[in-house]
A and B are shown apart, each in its own frame.
Chain A
Amino acid sequence: MAASQRDISVSEFFAKNRHLLGFDNPRKALLTTVKEAVDNALDACEEAGILPEVWIRITPTGENRFRVDVQDNGPGILKKQIPLIFGKLLYGSKFHRLRMSRGQQGIGISAAGMYGLLTTGKPVRILSKISRTKPGHYYAIQIDTKRNEPEILNGRGEGDEIPVGERGRQAIEKLGIDWVDVDHGTLVTIELEARYQRGRGSVDEYLEQTALANPHVTLHYVDPEGKATTYARVTETLPPEPKEIKPHPYGVELGRLVSMLKETKATTMMQFLTSSFSRVSGNVARRICDAAKVSPRASPRKIGRHEADELYKAIQTTKIPAPATDCISPIGEDLLLRGLHKLVPGEFYAAATRPPAVYRGNPFVIEVGLAYGGGPATHRVSRETLVELISQTDARTLRQFLTSTFDGVGVQAADKILHEAGLRRRTAPAKLKDAEITRLHEAMQNVNLSDGQTMTVLRYANRVPLLFQAGACAITQTVMATNWRSYGLTQSRGSLPTGPVTIMVHMASVWVPFTSESKEAIASYPEIQKELRLALQAVGRKLGMYLRRRIRVKHEGERRNLFLRYLGEVATAVSEINQTDREELYQRLLKVAKRKTRQADLQFDDRGRPIEQDADDFGGGVLIVGDDGAPRAAETGVAAETPK
C-alpha cells in the first residue's frame, strides 16, 4: 500500500480531470482552446500598449479534428519563455500579482496544448516575433505530463530560428504555417479532437461577445467552412492600463497576515503596514497599531500569534479608504452603449458603471449594459444559416433545436414558431424537407416572440465572455433575484424576466473569484451580489422610465386613433338623419378632434405650464434609437456614478 503512494504532478491531475479546465466535451474543447489563446493574445497586446488585432482560423483536418490558429500583433515572446508558457501548467506572470487581466492562473493555453496532444498526438506549434529586425522563433512543444515540463521537439530540443525578411517568409511557408505578416506577434497552432457547432456556446458566439466587451479590439475570424468575419474596433483608444496593486488590509485573512509578517523585509510595524498594503498611510498604520496595542516600532518578525490576532481585529475596526481603483479599467458607459448598439439591434440602450467596491480586499467594478427591443435571435438568421444549423444540431426534436440554438427562445416561443410553420414539435430536424425548412424560416421571421422571449444575459469577467454554467454564476442569480416587474418587464418568481431584453454584466477585478479553473461562473460573494444588484437596478430604472414613456406615447396615439375611428361613423349617422353633407361634417369634426387631442396630450406642471414630455431625465448612460436606426437621443458621456 505505502509503496504505491507517490507524487501526482499537476499535469497528470489535469490530464485526468480535463473537465475542470473546460475540456469536458469535444465542442467545448474547441471553444476553450480558442478562448485561452485569444485571452492570452489580448492580455499580451494590452500590457504592451498595442491596439490588439487577432486572427483566428479554425480548419478541419479530418474526422472530428480541427486545427486552431490564433495570431496576434502583440509584442512577441522571448525565446526562453516560449516553452515554459506553452508547455508547463501553472506557469505565468499573472498569478502572483494583483492586477486586472483576463488570464489568472497560467493553466489555460498549456492545458489546451496538452488536450491537443492527448487527443491527436500533435504538438503545440508556436511562432513568435518580437520585432521586424530580429529573427523570430519557432517551436513545436509537447508537455511531459509526468514532470510538468515542456519537451521541445524541433531543432534538437532548441527550437528553430526564423530569419528576417524574405528568407524568413519562405521558411514559414515550408513549415506550413499561416502567418499573417506583422512586425511582431505570436501565432499558436493547436490541433485537437473537437466538434464545431454554431449556436449557443459556440466559438462564433464567444468571439461576437468578446468584440462587444472589447471595443478596442479587431478580430478576424475564419470559421471551419472558410467563411470570414471581421469584428472591427469601435474605438482607437486602449483602455487605461490597469496598475498592479498591493493587497488591501480588509481582504487579508489572519493566516495570510501571519505569513506576510514573517516574510516582510520591513524592520518596523509602521514600515510593514505602509509598504505591504495599499491605502495604508502613516496615519492609518499608527491607528491600527494603537488599536492593536502594538508598538509602531516593533519588528514585524517578532509579532506573536496573539498580537497578530489583535492586529487582525484592529484592521477590521479601523477605517481605511477603499482600495485604489486605477488598478481596474472598466469598459465605461459610453463604450458599453456603443458596443451594445453595434451588436444587439434594439431601440433603447442603458448602461451603468458602479463605483469600485471591495470583496475580500480585492477591488472590483460592476458594469451593466442593457439593450431593449429589436428582434430575437430567430429574426436574424438567414435561410442558409438555418440550413447549416439544422445539419449541425444534435437536437432530436425541432422544439429542442429551437430552444437550444437560439438565445431567448423558450419552450412556448418554440411551440409558437412550429405552430405557425405547421410543423410537428417532435419531428427530427434532420428529416426536414426543403419546403419545410422554408416554412420554418418564414415562421421564425414572422412570429412575434417578444412575449415568450426571455432576457438574454451576457456575462463577462475582465472582458472575457462567460458562456457556460450560467445557473451557478452570481450574475445570473442576481439578475433572477432582481425584481424586474417594477421596471415594466414581466417575470415569474425566481426566473429570468421575459421581453426583448439583452443585458450584459461585466465584473472587472484584480482577482475574479471563479467557481472553477475553467472560469465559467463567478462565485457569489455578498459584496459582489450587492454591487450587481445596485447596477442592475440602475439600468432597470432607466428601462422602466423608457417603457413607461413608451406606453404613454402609445396610449396617446391610441386615444387619437379611437376618436378618428368613431368620427366617420358619427358623420355617417348624422348625415343619414338630417341629410348633412357627410364629408364636410367629417372634416369639421376632424379639425375639432385634432385640436382636442393636442390639448389633451399636454400635461401641466404645478404652475399650469405645459410639461415637455420628452424631457425625462435618465441621468446619463442612455441611448435611444429612432425608427430610422440612428441614435435619436443619446445621453452618453460621464454620468454621475462613473468613477474618476
Chain B
Amino acid sequence: MAKKTTNQDQAAAAPNLNPRDQHTLEQLVALADAVVRSAQSGVDPTLKIPTRTLSNVRYNRTKRIIEMGSARSDRQLFNLNQAKSYMQTLLVASGAKKLIAQGKTTSLRGMFYLSKHTIEGTREETFDDQSESDGIIEDLEVAINVLREELHLYAKNAGAMVGEITLIDSGDTIDCTRMGSGGYSIPSIVEPEVVQFAECNAKFVLHVEKDTVWRRFNEDKFWKTHQCILTHGGGQPPRGVRRLLYRLHHELKLPVYCLLDNDPWGYYIYSVIKQGSINLAYESKRMAIPEARFLGLRSKDFVECGLSNSVKIQLNETDRKRAKQIAKYPWFAHKKAWQKEIEQLLENGFKLEVEALISKDISYVTEEYTPTRLENEDWLD
C-alpha cells in the first residue's frame, strides 16, 4: 500500500488552518516524506539539523545581533549514538502534527507527556525526562525552520508587566494600568495573532531582572510617575518576555532600559536581550533589541551611591571566569565603556544586587537612582 493521501488532502482535512499552521504542517509532512523516500531507496534515513553551539553562531556587526551559522549536523537512524534522538525527533514531529491538526496548544511538559510512552516489547521509555524532549523540540524548530509557537507549544508563563499600555490578549482587553500588585503575566506566545496592542501612552520600557525589584517599582507606581511600561523576566527572560519587549520596541518605538544586578549574570541577561542567545540564535532576528540600554547596576555604584560594605558579595572563581568570557564577546570587545565596566567589577572583587540599594532607603532605587540615571542619560550601550 503506497502513500494514499497527498499533502494537500492532509492539510485540507484539518479544521480551519490559518496560513501559518498550513506552512508548519507542510514542513512536518515533508520531514516524514523524506523518511519514506530514504526507506524506499534503501538509504540511511538522515535528518539535517543546524548545530546550536557557540561554534555555529556569529555576530552580525551591521544588524548587531547573533545569527546562526550554516553548519549542520546529521542525525542518522542507523547510528548507535543518534538512533534514539532520531526516533525522538519524529515522535515530537508527530506530536506537533496532532496539536496543529486539532488546533490546540500545549506546554513543553505537555509535549513531553504526549510523546512519552514505553517502547513496544521493552522497558525503555521514549523519553526519560523533560530536558530530553525540550532539546528535541529546539532541534525540530531549527530542522524545519519553524518557531516554537508555530508548533503550538508554549513555555510556562514567566515575567510580568504593568504600565501605560492597553492590549488585547486572545480577545480580552487588558488595561495594564489596572493590574493590581501582581501585574499582567506575560504569556509565552505573544505573537500578533494572540496579543495586539490597543493603546499606549508609555514613553519607554524599564525591564528589571527580578520580581522583587519589579514589586518595589510597581508599589511606588513608578510607571505612573514616569509614564512607562515596567517588565521583569524572572532572571533570564523567557522567549515570551523577550518577544514582547521586541514588539514594544519595534512596533511602538519605545526605548528599552534594563536594570540588572551588577554581576556577570546580569551582564549576560543584558547581552541576551540585546544580541540574542547562542542557543536560540535562530530567533535573534525576532527577539534581539540591539538598542537596549544597560542602566545599572554599575561597578562604580558602590562608591557613587555610597553603599555600605555589608552589601558586598564576594566574586567566586566561576564569576571571574564568566566575566572574562563576557568581556571577550565580540559585541562587548570593542566597547571601551563595557571593558572598563567589567574590569572594574573584577577589580572590586565583589558583586551587587539591585536590592542592595535598599540599604540607602527603601525607595532609593525608584525615587533617586533610576530617575537620576535616566535624566543624566548615564547608561551603557
**Contact residues of A with B, CB < 8 Å?**
559, 562-563, 565-570, 572-574, 576-581, 584-585, 588-589, 591-593, 595-597
Is B90 an interface position by the 8 A CB rule? yes
Which B residues from 325 to 377 make CB contacts under 8 A with A? none
Instruction: Find chain A residues with CB under 8 A from B122 CB.
Output: 565
Within the complex, which residue of A565, A577, A596 is in contact with B32, where a contact is CB–CB below 8 Å? A577
A596 near B78: Cβ-Cβ < 8 Å: yes
Instruction: Find chain B residues with CB under 8 A from A569 CB.
Output: 87, 90-91, 119-120, 126
A570 near B77: Cβ-Cβ < 8 Å: yes
Offer 9 A-B interface pairs, CB within 8 angstroms, sorted by A. A572-B94, A573-B32, A573-B90, A574-B32, A577-B32, A581-B4, A585-B35, A592-B38, A596-B44
Within the complex, which residue of A577, A579, A593 is in contact with B78, where a contact is CB–CB below 8 Å? A593
Known: A576-B94, A577-B93, A579-B3. 13 other contacts (CB 8 A): A566-B77, A566-B87, A568-B120, A569-B126, A570-B35, A574-B90, A578-B33, A580-B32, A584-B2, A585-B39, A588-B39, A596-B44, A596-B78
| Distance to closest chain B CB from A64 (angstroms) | 55
B2 near A581: Cβ-Cβ < 8 Å: yes
Which B residues from 42 to 99 make CB contacts under 8 A with A? 42-45, 77-78, 80, 83-84, 86-87, 90-91, 93-94, 97-98
| Distance to closest chain A CB from B163 (angstroms) | 43
Is B315 an interface position by the 8 A CB rule? no
Is B304 an interface position by the 8 A CB rule? no
Instruction: Find chain B residues with CB under 8 A from A595 CB.
Output: 42
A568 near B36: Cβ-Cβ < 8 Å: no
Is B111 an interface position by the 8 A CB rule? no
B94 near A573: Cβ-Cβ < 8 Å: yes
| Distance to closest chain B CB from A139 (angstroms) | 72
Give the number of residue pairs across the A-B interface with Cβ within 8 Å. 98
| Distance to closest chain A CB from B41 (angstroms) | 9
B90 near A570: Cβ-Cβ < 8 Å: yes
B77 near A584: Cβ-Cβ < 8 Å: no
A592 near B83: Cβ-Cβ < 8 Å: no
| Distance to closest chain A CB from B38 (angstroms) | 8
A592 near B44: Cβ-Cβ < 8 Å: yes
| Distance to closest chain A CB from B260 (angstroms) | 42
Report the Cα distance A569→B1, complex, angstroms: 19
Is B40 an interface position by the 8 A CB rule? yes
Instruction: Find chain B residues with CB under 8 A from A591 CB.
Output: 42
Instruction: Find chain B residues with CB under 8 A from A567 CB.
Output: 77
B93 near A573: Cβ-Cβ < 8 Å: yes
Closest to A597 in B: B78
Instruction: Find chain B residues with CB under 8 A from A588 CB.
Output: 39-40, 42
Report the Cα distance A570→B119, complex, angstroms: 11
Report the Cα distance A592→B45, complex, angstroms: 9
Closest to B39 in A: A588
Given contacts A574-B32, A592-B78, A596-B78, contact A562 B97 (CB under 8 A): no
Given contacts A563-B78, A566-B87, A581-B1, contact A576 B119 (CB under 8 A): no
Q: Interface centre among B31, B33, B78, B124, by most A CB within 10 Å?
A: B78
Given contacts A563-B83, A565-B121, contact A577 B28 (CB under 8 A): yes
B124 near A565: Cβ-Cβ < 8 Å: yes
Interface of A is mostly: helix
B77 near A577: Cβ-Cβ < 8 Å: no
A566 near B29: Cβ-Cβ < 8 Å: no
Given contacts A563-B78, A596-B78, contact A578 B32 (CB under 8 A): yes
Instruction: Find chain B residues with CB under 8 A from A568 CB.
Output: 119-120
Q: Interface centre among A562, A578, A595, by most B CB within 10 Å?
A: A578
A562 near B39: Cβ-Cβ < 8 Å: no
Report the Cα distance A592→B77, complex, angstroms: 10
Instruction: Find chain A residues with CB under 8 A from B124 CB.
Output: 565
Within the complex, which residue of B10, B40, B42, B86 is in contact with A570, where a contact is CB–CB below 8 Å? B86
| Distance to closest chain A CB from B56 (angstroms) | 26
A562 near B83: Cβ-Cβ < 8 Å: yes
Within the complex, which residue of B5, B35, B39, B93 is in contact with A579, where a contact is CB–CB below 8 Å? B5
| Distance to closest chain B CB from A557 (angstroms) | 13
Report the Cα distance A576→B84, complex, angstroms: 18
Instruction: Find chain A residues with CB under 8 A from B2 CB.
Output: 581, 584
| Distance to closest chain A CB from B47 (angstroms) | 11
Within the complex, which residue of B5, B39, B98, B119 is in contact with A566, where a contact is CB–CB below 8 Å? B119
Report the Cα distance A595→B43, complex, angstroms: 10
Q: Interface centre among A559, A566, A576, by most B CB within 10 Å?
A: A566
B99-133 vs A, CB cutoff 8 Å, 1 = contact: the mask equals 00000000000000000000111101010000000
Report the Cα distance A152→B144, complex, angstroms: 105
6 closest A-B pairs by CB: A577-B32, A573-B90, A588-B39, A573-B94, A581-B1, A578-B32
Instruction: Find chain B residues with CB under 8 A from A566 CB.
Output: 77, 83-84, 86-87, 119
Q: Interface centre among A568, A570, A581, A592, by most B CB within 10 Å?
A: A570
| Distance to closest chain B CB from A286 (angstroms) | 71
| Distance to closest chain A CB from B57 (angstroms) | 30
Report the Cα distance A6→B367, complex, angstroms: 116
Instruction: Find chain B residues with CB under 8 A from A570 CB.
Output: 35, 45, 77, 86-87, 90
Closest to A568 in B: B120
Given contacts A565-B119, A565-B121, A585-B36, contact A576 B83 (CB under 8 A): no
Report the Cα distance A581→B4, complex, angstroms: 8
Instruction: Find chain A residues with CB under 8 A from B28 CB.
Output: 577
Within the complex, which residue of B29, B43, B83, B120 is in contact with A577, where a contact is CB–CB below 8 Å? B29
Instruction: Find chain A residues with CB under 8 A from B40 CB.
Output: 588
A578 near B10: Cβ-Cβ < 8 Å: yes
| Distance to closest chain B CB from A585 (angstroms) | 6
Q: Interface centre among B28, B44, B90, B119, by most A CB within 10 Å?
A: B90
Report the Cα distance A566→B122, complex, angstroms: 10
Instruction: Find chain B residues with CB under 8 A from A565 CB.
Output: 119, 121-122, 124
B301-313 vs A, CB cutoff 8 Å, 1 = contact: the mask equals 0000000000000
